[in-house]
Amino acid sequence: MTHAIVPPYLLARIAALQDPELQHAAQAARATLAVPRDYGPARSRLRLSIEDGDTLVAEAVPAPDREISDAQRREVLPGVRVRGEDDAATGDAAVDDAFDGLGVTFDFYWDAFQRNSVDGAGEPLLATVHYGLDYDNAFWNGERMVFGDGDGEIFQGFTGSLSVIAHELSHGVVEASGGLDYTGQSGSLNESIADVFGALAEQHHLGQTVDEASWLIGEGIFTDAVEGRALRSLEAPGTAYDDDVLGRDPQPAHMNGFVVTSDDNGGVHINSGIPNHAFYLTAKALGGHAWERAGLIWYRALTSGTVPADADFATFANATLAAATAEYGEGSEEVDAVRAGWTGVGVLEDAP
């Protein structure tokens, strides 16, 4: 199963445009929808730190093993290898942004959760850029990241958004942790967890607190012609964009707005707004850096081995409560924050 950042309902809307001035974007969206998406040794580095005031300590920590290829605007993978781990920057923004974004995401998972790459065992990080002609998406195909350049009218290059890169790599983390069926509520959880860690990777890189962060996914992928900040907002689902061409962001923030649909594998990109907002409410209640407590709880739940592939929202909510209890203790503010997050979006009922 492949996972793409731009949902099919948004591409379908663009593909149906009749405005003569937007026919290039419409054709690019139709072509993007028509393209089928096909489904190493550990490295280390020295990290220096100062301890006890003046003692310089060298510690070996895992390092990413990155390889970027160029599809040269064809729909063929992997493409031509253009940059490896020990190579200098190429001057091609898509190549170098992808390389840097993979490294930032790797560092986030290691620093926050001591996870060594996608599989936890140093798996090489592979990416292909310049995929297809005017291709309006980025996706994880089970083994590599793939980035289109966008149509230039609605979407611009996808490698410039760190949250996009981290989101797609996080689908690999979900798969390596047991997986979540990509349909219905479990599929929405799959998308939501990727959004959560996509947002956290960006916040970690920027050193942002809960209050400083944008909580946006895909910020920067729209051109200036679009009335919108990003594809999704964890802080306020349903507000990421409101555009004459794209319409209004359809994500609900509460179960009372849950969308029943057969489209998009049962609305996986729409209903993910509900667990997304539950995480935001949890992080907001705890404050500070969201990856340190709220993020750790979500990560512990995901990797606990107790979440079935067909988990619904309530099942995952209870897994996060169990993870918070194991990590911080019953009655802790962390447990209370997690419970309040899920009750705040209508997934769990208030405790008696």
Cα gap 110→108, rounded to integer Å: 5
Structural Rg of the chain based on CA atoms = 20
pLDDT digits (tens, 9 = 90+) for 99-117: 999 999 999 999 999 999 9
Cα gap 117→61, rounded to integer Å: 12
Cα gap 138→145, rounded to integer Å: 7
The answer to whether residue 350 sits within a structural domain is: no
CATH number at residue 21: 1.10.390.10
Instruction: Give how far Cα 32 sits from Cα of 13, 36, 111, 264, 329, Å.
Output: 12, 9, 36, 15, 48
269 is known as an active-site residue: yes
Q: Looking at per-residue confidence, does 55 or 336 come out higher? A: 336
> Looking at the whole model, is its pTM more than 0.95?
no
Give the pLDDT band of residue 1 (cuts 50, 70, 90): low
What average pLDDT does range 216-241 have in this prediction?
96
Catalytic residue among 3, 130, 167, 168: 168
Range of the domain at 207: 3-344
Report the domain count for the chain. Answer: 1
What average pLDDT does range 222-235 have in this prediction?
96
21 is known as an active-site residue: no
**Virtual torsion, Cα 171, 173, 179, 181, nearest 10 deg:** -10
Catalytic residue among 269, 277, 289, 334: 269
Percent of the chain residues topping a pLDDT of 90: 80
pLDDT digits (tens, 9 = 90+) for 230-285: 999 999 999 999 999 999 999 999 999 999 999 999 999 999 999 999 999 999 99
